[in-house]
Structure 1
Amino acid sequence: MVERVRQQGVSNPKVLAAMNTLAREAFVDEALRMRVYDDCSLPIGQGQTLSQPYIVGRMSELLLGASIPVKRVLEIGTGSGYQAAVLAQCGCAVFTIERIGAFLDVAKARHRRLGLLNIRYLHRDGFKGWPSQAPFDGIIVTAAPPTIPDELKVQLAVGGRLIVPVGAQGGAQRLTVITRTEKDFRSQFFDAVSFVPMLPGEQS
């Protein structure tokens, strides 16, 4: 899997090493473990998915490519816990928010079993971010809002990056990188992607 991700263009050594170290099958139900290394997303329940390996690597690489050291990262959408685990394995302190409480409990247990202790958790509407812990060197969003949430942009440190797939479900979505400068925000556009929609509110 990691060699395929490398061939697809991901080159950050920390990201590749993290993905090589983590057992991806630990983040899905047993029924899906035969497919866990395939080049596709996988369902994890309640209409949510675990992103394909390339997308996890690509988003992680873009996040770590900021002009400042990326030590504190906010993740919006814990899901299976795999993306947070990759970033934690890269040495980041990860603050992860999940609107579905059941997902958060399962991901936390998975991380504990793997000895990943540099992750903090919050059951919350992801559109609000985690202002009490801001600013963050990086923010990564694992679901697609129709537009970029302003409340997340302002929680970035100067020089930090927000990685977010933007667009409607079933329509054109683009992996977007927002960099905070001393004066404003700069946008860059990368891969065409397909993510589940980012939804407001909380549920158990």
Structure 2
Amino acid sequence: MNTPASQERLRFNMIEQQIRPWDVHDPQVLALLAEIHREDYVPAAHRALAFFDMELPLADGTEPGQTMLAPKIEARMLNDLHVQKHESVLEIGTGSGFMAALLAHRAAKVLTLEIDATLAARATETLRRNGVNNVEVRHADGAKPLPSGPTFDVIVLSGSVARVPQNLMGSLNIGGRLVAIVGGEPMMRAHFVTRVSEGKWETTQPWDTIAPRLLNFPEPSPFRF
């Protein structure tokens, strides 16, 4: 069992050896990663692996299912989004609730959607237990069209998709940013889409990675001769 001192050493090594070398240099983001304890959001069966450079299963057992993104992916997304204290955030794919907790400490409020009812309930309780009060976890399929009404300053897809979901573009405020990991194995690219004005968006693709799929988003049709 890790002692508090050994956990802090592992956390320090995670930040300095995994995250900072991945061009995560925002001092506020690095401080947040030291403050928000990742192990508090990891299922008990996998808690000893909380600081490793890997995706972690979100089920307590060994059965396949959804996973928690690697720490450096979550950190780089947060670093590059430049979330501000007055902004509202939509996350697709709550998972453990860890990314929602990070976003909540940078933003005014976070709405996070989780397709799995068990994970949604667990994340709600974990966030409450850790004193994160400006996050609403909603059991919902983020691949379905959003109800008309609310728009957001930041939209985060915590998983990969085959293409940037066009139905989410109109849910960005002017100046809003969307991040999605787009493509298929063996290489995907992070897409950062900014709504610069009415009817105009700009996209950058600054880094490559691999991430598990978000459920129910469209996939390209298989190629046929």
Alignment TM-score, normalising by the size of structure 2: 0.81
2:122 corresponding residue in structure 1: 106
Which one of the candidate residues 128, 149, 157 is aligned to 2:173? 157
Deviations 1:27-71 (A, max 9, x none): 112221221111222121352111111111101112226xx7761
- Cα distance in 2 between the residues matched to 1:187 and 1:90: 23
Q: Is the 8 A contact 1:63 1:140 kept in 2?
A: no
- Residue 52 of structure 1 pairs with residue 70 of structure 2: yes
Q: Secondary structure at the match of 2:204?
A: strand
User: Equivalent residue for 1:126?
Assistant: 142
Map Cα deviations across residues 65-93 of structure 1 (whole Å, 9 max, x no partner).
Answer: 6xx77610000000011100111122441
TM normalised by structure 1 equals 0.89
Counterpart CA distance in 1 for 2:54 and 2:183 is 20
- 3-state secondary structure, aligned to 2:207: strand
Q: 1:144 touches 1:198 (CA, 8 Å); kept in 2?
A: yes
Residue 172 (structure 1) aligns with: 187
Residue 199 in structure 1 maps to residue 215 in structure 2: yes
Confirm or deny: 8 A CA contact 1:127 1:152 kept in the other structure: no
Query: For residues 9 and 134 of structure 1, what CA distance do their matches in structure 2 show?
Result: 33
CA displacement at 1:136 relative to structure 2:
0.5
Task: Say whether the 8 Å CA contact 2:187–2:208 is kept in structure 1.
Answer: yes
Q: Which has the higher contact order (CA 8 A, sep 6+)?
A: 1
Pairwise CA RMSD of aligned residues?
1.9
Tell me if structure 2 keeps the 8 A contact 1:74–1:139. Answer: yes
Partner of 2:24: 10
Instruction: Output the CA distance in 2 between the equivalents of 1:69 and 1:27.
Output: 23
Deviation at 1:133, TM superposition (A): 5.5
* CA distance, structure 1, for counterparts of residue 176 and residue 194 of structure 2: 6
- Match of 1:20? 34
State the 1:166 CA deviation.
Answer: 0.7
Question: Structure 2 stretches of 5 or more lacking a match?
Answer: 1-13, 218-225
Larger Rg: 2
Q: Tell me, what secondary structure is at the counterpart of 1:190?
A: coil
Q: Percent identity?
A: 34
Q: Secondary structure at the match of 1:39?
A: coil
Alignment of 1:34-45 (within 5 A): 34-45=48-59
Segments of 5+ residues of structure 1 without an aligned counterpart are none
- In the TM superposition, what is the alpha-carbon distance from 1:194 to its structure 2 partner? 1.2
| Whole-angstrom distance in 2 between the partners of 1:14 and 1:130 | 31
